[in-house]
Amino acid sequence: MQIMTNNSPVSKVKISCLTTLKGHNAAVYALVAFQKENEFLSTGGEGWVAQWSMEDLENGKLLAKTGSSNFALHYDNTDNILSIGDIYGDLHVAKLNENNEPRKISYHKKGVFGIHRLENELLTLAGDGLLTKWNSQTLAKKESIQLTYNRIRGFADAKKKQVLLIGASDKNIYAIDRDTFQIQNVVEKAHLNSVFALALDQEEKVILSGGRDAMLNIWKWEDEIKIHKSIPAHLFTINAIKYSPDYRLFATASRDKTIKIWDSKEFKLLKVIEAIRDKGHVNSVNDLLWLSKDRLISCSDDRTIKVWDVQY
């Protein structure tokens, strides 16, 4: 089902912290939606994957675990497959309808920072600069390309244009043909430092990028990718950029401990979520997840997950 968007800009946003979840014993690095609309998963430094339900937030469930710090997490509802990427470059995959014990695949030489699904394939983005396709059922490696010798972690899937966008620590953004896996274009020096986060609007005409330089860069994408605006959005690294389900807002998460909410039409800052005033995080905010247009989830180095009510 296609989500219809309202093109008018948002002028005001009200945000309140509904609850703080403290089930993890280490930094929490990644969040993904789970089987039901009100469920999500989290993972972090102690190697746990926790399952949460909005109906019973006080009782999280340990779904799976690895023996190392986990940076990346992916769940596919089609075939009930959970994928986890760890600090050592290992990929852990569990078919939840069969067994929650993940199978470990050692391939990347450095940490796996992103896992994504492309129809019948899994895609891993790793610290060794390799972009790798895996058969999602057999877990056999299908193809791997050396994009760079730096970390790659930013990702956006332009399905209409059949292009994958990849952000790297060499400061570049790569446009990869979705079918042939060939590099179509490179936006060189897209940031002054590592590109950590990418997001794509619904029409695939606007790319948002965030990096270690704390800048939010807005790119217009017609025939070519061209810079539209560059905003000093945070004090430190932007770790995540996520659009709301109706695409009227987007949120940014940073190592400066804040979450910021932006109007996606005019790229105007609407709200800053801080530690003391808003009951926000007290350490780096690592990932964001919109469960619905009025529910935003965040996770942090402070070992907590926070659930936010967003009204606009």
What is the DSSP code string of 175-235?
Answer: EEETTT--EEEEETTSSSS-EEEEEE-TTS-EEEEEETT-EEEEEEESSSEEEEEEEE--S
Structure tokens, 260:
């910021």
Residue 235 has pLDDT above 90, yes or no: yes
Residue 35 has pLDDT above 80, yes or no: yes
Q: What is the pLDDT of residue 1?
A: 39
Give the chain's mean pLDDT: 95
- Residue 299 to residues 103, 159, 224: CA-CA distances in angstroms? 26, 28, 35
More confident residue, 263 or 78: 263
Cα–chain-centroid distance for residue 13?
23
Residue carrying the six token digits 């006080």 = 58
Whole-angstrom distance, CA of residue 166 vs CA of residue 157: 9
Q: What is the pLDDT of residue 2?
A: 47
Q: How confident is the model at residue 312 (pLDDT cuts 50, 70, 90)?
A: very high
The residue-averaged pLDDT of 53-69 equals 93
Residue 101 has pLDDT above 90, yes or no: no
Q: What is the pLDDT of residue 137?
A: 87
The residue-averaged pLDDT of 220-235 equals 96
Residue 297 has pLDDT above 60, yes or no: yes
Q: How confident is the model at residue 99 (pLDDT cuts 50, 70, 90)?
A: low
Q: What is the pLDDT of residue 273?
A: 97
Task: Tally the C-alpha atoms within 13 A of residue 25's C-alpha that lie toward its C-beta.
Answer: 7
pLDDT tens, position by position, 159-185 = 999 999 999 999 999 999 999 999 999
